[in-house]
Structure 1
Amino acid sequence: MSHRIKRLLIIDDNKTFVMYIGLLLRRMGFEVTAAENALEGLKTLKTDPPDGVLLDVVMPDMNGTDILRHIRGDKKLAQLPVIMVSVDGNDATMNRCRQLGAS
């Protein structure tokens, strides 16, 4: 029985974070794709859906919670695991992400 490599999409505008977390995830055996902004991430989600998403909460073009709402509202993507990441670790932000369906 063969095991398919899990594909992850990182949507984050911080290139340094994407580089380091991408390297770590690849070493763990994941196939990683990155999107530098929300619009690029949404396009990738539609054209080449991954097995999971690491999603930044704060980005310049669109808020990560708006992207999460879009994912949860799309029948094809609704069950996709989404892990939210942010430098803003306050309780209100974390609770809002959980309420919107973050994994």
Structure 2
Amino acid sequence: MIPKNVRVKNPKLLKQLKKEVGCCEKCGSHFNLESAHLISKGANGPDIRENVAILCGPARYGAGCHGAEHRGKISKYELFEIVAKREGITPEECRTRVRRAMGYEV
């Protein structure tokens, strides 16, 4: 059974991460930065640091790294590795924290 979790959007966190990181975490570009959820908002992905990567875009035009992520050219595991490195944890721990925030027992 998938837990029902009320999703609270946290725009302050997303803005803070963009400012803190300052470039695309995949390619290093400083232009058109967007927050990309590793587990999508539609799949109940939370707005926590471990679930958000800063990627260049814009995704809506399929451009940049964010667009590549939407097209499946960048794997979820690769994104978890990027975010885990930023947070100083393992990719497995990163994924565990995201799943906990989604309401799963892990």
- Give me the TM-score of the superposition, normalised by structure 1: 0.31
Q: Larger % of strand: which?
A: 1
Q: Larger % of helix: which?
A: 2
